[in-house]
């Protein structure tokens, strides 16, 4: 187990490094930096002024060095005045004595930079936003997992039955409906003046202060619907496969009741595949979160990512990508390890 | 003239889609009549689910073909009195109706959805096809040879797969990136795969008849190369190879980047599927037989393994077109790439969602259109899977 884990984790770290470098590269292209200089120092500055602003703020050094600085493995940039005393630098905050500043300040040291739009520490912003998204995801999981497993098991236990046909059609249609479509349809039905139902609110902005059923149900349902389709289809396939296994027939022939066979014999084996799928669904749910938070103006992580990307807020976007990439990689790792634990037939050599 | 009621609207819509109904009826009549002679395509007509899916897909394909006949208005022309008007409202000059109402700029929702189908039906299958070419050309050797090559390519694929799609879109599909010429460089690499694929395909098969092989290779090289240069290059950008007079296909920078990024996102998944299938098939007896005969690796990969992998690949192709449609909609929803004026469904949903609680129809109509197309593709894939498992 240990060599397997070590190998997986080292691949994971290498992947994370590559991905963050790609994000760093794409957010630090010359046009982006020029835009940043213009938004920070004034939109009418000349090309020479842009160049000197970039020079003064440490954007002139080669890309790979700046990536190292951002990561925290290369000493932060400093600028000195004519007689050689350090006046400004990456690690020197405003009003701080340059002598007391740290040499390294990057992600590894816990310094995530400052958002150029919100004028606040990136780590603080992301912390607040992630909590909001965490609440959303919690409720999504609470609705999605039981519903999808139930649908999948009911459909898969008698393959080809009428119940199976109708539940499968349902899960195919929800899996075919992206969040921006289902969200729009749900709002139009339950929150617009056309149908006059107005049961729920079409915006979740008020849910950031206090969650009520009225303002939180639609966003949760929108994300959960897509996941339900995916997980239910997997569960159904896996359940249907298990139900054709020899040991199930043996149990039935011995006279065990159908309900008992399903619950005691089939379920345990049938739930291994859905577990992996739920874990691997996280990257997709992340997409759903971005779409739904934009649609319902719920200012969580996804909303922050979109606004950072739209406003050329480089440090915040980098921070968001680090979080997003790690969520994806860690869920992959958990799904691998969990699969091994749940399925004793798999041996790692 | 009066505003139309719901039945009037329905009749109006059905009447406007007349060319589509005729084509669908002809297609289905001919296909069902000759279904025994049409192979896997004919088998579709044995399963009701596949037939429904196929009908939905072909409905939108025919709509895209006849879009100019079906649309009642120009998708961009605005009538300011028609802003957010309900479905069936009569125009101020009293000549015609806005069958499905007007959007926030007073454009006809019905015509925009019909014209929007063109963009999806053009880009989605083509982008999926390119993604398959890339995935197949890399997945076959990775699965067949294994070893270092496999480790390296799998690492690359996992790298792209670990990237949240929306983040990737936000990083790739921006005016700044288009300015740097990056989409064109990516297109240079990605569009090379189809040509290389076709050349290797022909070369491995007709290696033994050199004259014929050389002729075909030359034809592929010249036609493919010309299309390649004309598709990738554009006068006045970073990659400008052909002069304007010879440049056959003009792709605006923002459409090219949408296309490239969709291909880029899809190909690693295709790669993984192909690699998995190859790992399974290469242990079969007929592969060993070919190896013993002394066939060369690319012949075995392309003419022994690939044809036997076609079942799952066709099913995945259908599903993937649906996924690509969703991705295109996502791009439009975030206002990335395509111009906000464009009638594609994602952009229309994005424009309509701002007023959705007051006037939902501008967003609902394209949303239902997108849903029906993706649902059709999924049902078709499901039906195909069942039919291909049967034999």
Sequence-separated (6 or more) residues with CB below 8 Å from residue B76: B107, B341, B343
Judged by CB atoms closer than 8 Å, whether chains meet at B358 and A23 is answered as: no
**Is residue A117 in a domain?**
no
Chain B hits for A187, CB-CB cut-off 8 Å, are 353, 356-357, 360
| Mean pLDDT of all residues belonging to chain B | 86
Query: Which of A133-137, A298-302, A334-338 shows the lowest per-residue confidence on average (mean pLDDT)?
Result: A334-338
Measured in angstroms, the CA of B220 and the nearest CA of chain A are apart by: 35
Closest-CA residue of chain A to B373: A176
CA angle B271, B277, B283 (to 5 degrees): 135
- Are A231 and A291 members of one domain? yes
Q: In the predicted model, is pLDDT for residue A23 greater than 60?
A: yes
Q: In this complex, which of A177, A184, A291 lies closest to B364 when CB atoms are compared?
A: A184
Domain shared by A132 and A261, yes or no:
yes
Q: Which residue among A31, A291, A295 places its CB closest to the CB of B179?
A: A31
Calculate how close chain B gets to A111, using CA atoms only, in Å: 22
Please name the member of A19, A191, A317 whose beta carbon is closest to the beta carbon of B159.
A19
Residues facing A80 on adjacent strands? A86
Partner B, chain A 178-207, Cβ-Cβ below 8 Å: 178, 180-181, 184-185, 187-188, 191-194, 202
Q: Which of A109, A143, A177 is at the close of a domain?
A: A109
Chain B nearest C-alpha distance from A256 (Å): 31
Per-residue pLDDT at B99 exceeds 70 = yes
Contacts of A301 in chain B (CB under 8 A): none
| pLDDT of residue B276 exceeding 80 | yes
Identify the CATH number of the domain in which residue A149 sits: 1.10.3720.10
- Looking at the complex, report in whole angstroms how far the Cα of residue B245 sits from the nearest Cα belonging to chain A: 31
Can you give the pLDDT at residue B391? 57
Instruction: Tell whether A24 and A56 lie within a shared domain.
Output: yes
Query: Whose CA is closest to A89, among A71, A72, A101?
Result: A101
* B377–A29 C-beta distance less than 8 A: no
Q: How far is CA A46 from CA A28, A49, B176, in A?
A: 20, 5, 19
H-type alpha helices, chain B: 6-16, 18-33, 39-43, 48-65, 67-70, 109-145, 147-161, 165-172, 175-180, 182-190, 192-205, 210-232, 253-281, 285-293, 297-299, 306-308, 310-333, 345-352, 361-390
Rg of chain B (C-alpha set): 24
Query: What is the pLDDT at residue A48?
Result: 83
- Rounded Cα distance between B159 and A159, Å, is 37
Q: In terms of domains, do A165 and A264 share one? A: yes
Mean pLDDT of A290-296: 90
CA distance B354 to A37: 32
CA–CA dist A42, A33 (Å, integer): 13
Q: Decide if B374 and A15 are in contact by the 8 Å CB cutoff.
A: no
Of B165, B367, B377, nearest to A181 by CB-CB distance is: B367
Residue A31 domain-assigned? yes
Instruction: Yes or no: say if A238 and A156 are a contact pair by the CB < 8 Å rule.
Output: yes
CA B112, CA B46: separation in Å to the nearest integer? 35
* Residues A137 and A271 grouped into a single domain: yes
> How many structural domains compose chain A?
2
Say if the Cβ atoms of A188 and B363 lie within 8 Å.
yes
Q: pLDDT tens across A25-72, in order?
A: 888 888 888 888 888 777 778 888 888 888 877 788 888 888 888 888
C-alpha A297/C-alpha A206 separation (Å) is: 9
Distance of CA B357 to the CA centre of its chain: 32
Tell me which chain A residues have a C-beta less than 8 angstroms from the C-beta of B361: 194
Residue A347: its pLDDT value, please? 62
Sign (positive/negative) of CA torsion B167, B173, B176, B178? positive
Identify which of B367, B335, B322, B353 has the alpha carbon closest to the alpha carbon of residue B169: B335
The verdict on a CB contact (< 8 Å) between A306 and B334 is: yes
Report CB contact under 8 Å: A181, B370.
yes
User: Among A84-88, A337-341, B188-192, B346-350, whose mean pLDDT is lowest?
Assistant: A84-88
Helix, coil or strand: residue A192: coil
A interface mutation test: which of B6, B88, B167, B272 has the most A CBs within 10 A? Answer: B167
A 288-317: CB under 8 A from B: 290-291, 294-295, 305-306, 309-310, 317
Q: Please, which pLDDT band fits residue B53 given cuts at 50, 70 and 90?
A: very high
Decide if B330 and A287 are in contact by the 8 Å CB cutoff. Answer: yes
Per-residue pLDDT band for B39 (boundaries 50, 70, 90) equals confident
Question: Do A343 and A272 touch, CB atoms closer than 8 A?
Answer: yes
Query: A63 with A86, same domain?
Result: yes
Q: Which of A107-121, A132-146, A252-266, B152-166 has the lowest mean pLDDT?
A: A107-121
Pairwise CA distance, residues A276 & A7, whole Å = 20
Identify the residue whose tokens are 């406007």: B16
* Collapsed DSSP state (helix, strand, coil) of residue A81: coil
Domain range spanning residue A192?
Answer: 122-342
Instruction: Kindly state the percentage of chain B with pLDDT values over 70.
Output: 97
Residue B143 has pLDDT above 80, yes or no: yes
- Contact across the interface for B360 and A188, Cβ inside 8 Å: yes
Q: What percent helix, strand, coil does chain A show, rounded to 5?
A: 70, 5, 30
pLDDT at site B61: 94
Shortest distance between the Cα of B162 and any Cα of chain A, in A, equals 6
Q: How many A×B Cβ pairs under 8 Å?
A: 135
What residue of B is the nearest CA neighbor of A202?
B357
Q: Among A9-23, A58-72, B57-71, whose mean pLDDT is lowest?
A: A58-72
CB A72 within 8 A of CB A85: no
Establish if A261 belongs to a structural domain: yes
The three-state (H, E, C) secondary structure of B21-46, written as one string? HHHHHHHHHHHHHCHHHCHHHHHHHH
pLDDT in tens, A62-91: 888 888 888 888 787 777 777 767 767 777
Q: CB under 8 Å to B127, separation ≥6 — which residues? A: B259, B262, B263, B266, B324
Closest partner CB to B375 (pick from A173, A294, A328): A173
A47 shares its domain with A142: no
Residue A239 · residue A229 · CB < 8 Å: no
pLDDT value at A259 more than 90: no
Which of A109, A136, A163 is a domain's end point?
A109
Is the same domain home to A97 and A219? no
Please say if the pLDDT value at position B118 is more than 80: yes
Give one word for A200, left, alpha or beta, with left for phi > 0 and alpha for psi -120 to 50.
Answer: beta
Rounded to an integer, what distance in angstroms lies between the CA atom of residue B22 and that of residue A140? 45
List the one residue out of B273, B274, B262, B272 whose CA is nearest residue B187: B262
Residues of A in contact with B165 (CB under 8 A): 283, 287
Instruction: Please give the average per-residue pLDDT across A186-195, as a whole number.
Output: 80
Return the axis-axis angle of helices B253-281 and B165-172, rounded to nearest 10°.
140
Same domain, A88 and A168: no
The structure's pTM equals: 0.89
Pair (A180, A219) in one structural domain: yes
Smallest Cβ distance to B357: which of A175, A185, A193?
A193
- The nearest CA of chain B is from the CA of A306 a distance in Å of 8
Touching B: A residues 6-45, CB under 8 Å: 11, 14-15, 18-19, 22-23, 26-27, 29-32, 35
Residues from chain B that touch A185, judged by Cβ atoms under 8 A, are 364, 367-368, 371
- Residue A40 covered by a domain: yes
**pLDDT (0 to 100) of residue A95:** 67
What are the phi and psi torsion angles at B185 (to 5°)? -65, -40
pLDDT given at position B236: 66
Mean of the pLDDT values across residues B257-265? 89
Q: What is the pLDDT of residue B54?
A: 93
Per-domain residue ranges for chain B? 6-111+348-390, 118-326
Phi, psi of B108 (to 5 degrees): -75, 120
Which among B155, B357, B374 has the least Cβ separation from residue A192? B357
Q: Once rounded to an integer, what is the mean pLDDT over residues A87-105? A: 72
Determine contact, residues A176/B374, Cβ cutoff 8 Å.
Answer: yes
Whether the per-residue pLDDT at B1 is higher than 70: the answer is no
pLDDT for residue B140: 93
CB-nearest to A178 from B155, B326, B377 is B326
Tell me which residue has tokens 């190896």: B291
Kindly provide the b/e burial profile for residues A242-270, where b requires at least 16 CB atoms within 10 angstroms of the residue's own CB: bbeeeebeebeeeeeeeeebbeebbeebb
In a domain, A348, yes or no: no
Give domain status of residue A154, yes or no: yes
One domain, residues A327 and A191? yes
CA distance B24 to A221: 36
Q: pLDDT-based confidence at A349, cuts 50/70/90? A: low
Phi, psi of B163 (to 5 degrees): -80, 125
Q: Are residues A200 and A70 in the same domain?
A: no
User: Residue A32 domain-assigned?
Assistant: yes
Answer yes or no: do B367 and A321 touch at CB < 8 A: no
Under an 8 A CB cutoff, do A180 and B329 touch?
A: yes
Domain edge (last residue) among A109, A144, A177: A109
């Amino acid at each position: 187990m240990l060599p397997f884990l070590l190998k997986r984790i080292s691949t994971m770290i290498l992947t994370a490094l590559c991905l963050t470098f790609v994000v760093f590269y794409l957010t630090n292209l010359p046009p982006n930096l020029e835009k940043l200089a213009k938004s920070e120092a004034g939109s009418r500055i000349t090309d020479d002024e842009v160049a000197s602003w970039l020079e003064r703020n440490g954007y002139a050094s080669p890309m790979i060095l700046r990536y190292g600085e951002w990561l925290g493995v290369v000493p932060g940039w400093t600028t000195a005045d004519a007689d050689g005393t350090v006046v400004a630098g990456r690690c020197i905050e405003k009003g701080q004595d340059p002598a007391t500043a740290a040499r390294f300040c990057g992600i590894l040291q816990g310094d995530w930079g400052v958002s150029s739009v919100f004028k606040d520490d990136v780590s603080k912003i992301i912390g607040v936003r992630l909590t909001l998204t965490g609440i959303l995801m919690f409720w999504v999981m609470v609705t999605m997992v039981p519903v999808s497993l139930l649908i999948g098991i009911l459909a898969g236990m008698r393959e080809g039955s009428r119940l199976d046909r109708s539940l499968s059609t349902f899960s195919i249609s929800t899996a075919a409906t992206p969040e921006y479509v289902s969200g729009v349809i749900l709002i139009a039905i339950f929150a617009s003046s056309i149908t006059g139902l107005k049961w729920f609110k079409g915006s979740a902005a008020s849910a950031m202060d206090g969650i009520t059923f009225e303002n939180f149900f639609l966003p949760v349902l929108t994300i959960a619907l897509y996941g339900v389709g995916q997980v239910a289809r997997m569960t159904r396939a896996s359940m249907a496969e298990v139900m054709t296994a020899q040991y199930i027939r043996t149990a039935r022939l011995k006279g065990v009741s159908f309900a008992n066979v399903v619950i005691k014999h089939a379920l345990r084996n049938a739930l291994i595949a859905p577990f992996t799928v739920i874990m691997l669904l996280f990257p997709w749910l992340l997409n759903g979160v971005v779409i739904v938070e934009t649609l319902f103006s719920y200012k969580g992580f996804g909303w922050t990512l979109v606004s950072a990307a739209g406003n050329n807020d480089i440090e915040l976007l980098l921070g968001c990508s680090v979080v997003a990439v790690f969520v994806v990689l860690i869920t992959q790792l958990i799904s691998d390890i969990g699969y091994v634990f749940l399925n004793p037939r798999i041996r790692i050599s | 003239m009066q505003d139309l009621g719901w039945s009037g609207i329905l009749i109006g819509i059905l009447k406007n889609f007349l060319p589509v109904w005729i084509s669908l009826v002809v297609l289905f009549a001919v296909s069902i009549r000759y279904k025994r002679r049409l192979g896997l395509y004919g088998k579709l007509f044995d399963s009701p689910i596949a037939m429904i899916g196929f009908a939905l897909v072909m409905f939108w394909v025919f709509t895209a073909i006849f879009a100019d006949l079906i649309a009642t208005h120009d998708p961009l022309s605005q009538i300011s009195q028609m802003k957010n008007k309900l479905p069936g409202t009569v125009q101020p000059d009293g000549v015609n109706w806005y069958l499905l109402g007007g959007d926030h700029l007073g454009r006809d929702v019905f015509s925009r959805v019909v014209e929007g189908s063109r963009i999806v039906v053009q880009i989605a299958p083509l982008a999926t096809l390119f993604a398959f070419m890339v995935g197949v050309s890399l997945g076959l050797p990775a699965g067949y040879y294994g070893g270092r090559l496999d480790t390296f390519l799998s690492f690359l694929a996992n790298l792209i797969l670990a990237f949240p799609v929306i983040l990737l879109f936000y990083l790739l599909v921006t005016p700044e990136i288009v300015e740097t010429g990056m989409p064109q460089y990516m297109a240079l690499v990605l569009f090379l795969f189809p040509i290389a694929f076709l050349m290797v395909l022909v070369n491995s098969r007709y290696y033994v008849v050199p004259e014929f092989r050389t002729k075909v290779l030359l034809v592929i090289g010249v036609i493919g190369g010309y299309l390649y240069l004309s598709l990738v290059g554009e006068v006045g950008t970073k990659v400008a190879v052909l002069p304007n007079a010879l440049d056959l296909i003009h792709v605006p920078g923002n459409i090219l980047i949408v296309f490239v990024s969709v291909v880029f996102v899809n190909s690693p998944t295709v790669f993984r599927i192909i690699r998995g299938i190859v790992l399974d098939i290469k242990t079969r007896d007929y592969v060993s037989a070919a190896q013993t005969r002394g066939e060369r690796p690319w012949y075995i990969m392309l003419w022994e393994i690939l044809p036997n992998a076609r079942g799952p690949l066709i099913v995945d192709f259908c599903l993937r077109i649906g996924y690509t449609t969703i991705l295109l909609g996502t791009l439009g929803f975030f206002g990335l790439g395509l111009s906000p004026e464009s009638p594609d469904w994602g952009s229309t949903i994005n424009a309509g969602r701002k007023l959705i609680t007051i006037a939902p129809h501008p967003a609902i109509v394209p949303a239902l259109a997108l849903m029906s197309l993706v649902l059709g593709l999924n049902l078709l894939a499901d039906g195909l899977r069942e039919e291909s498992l049967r034999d």
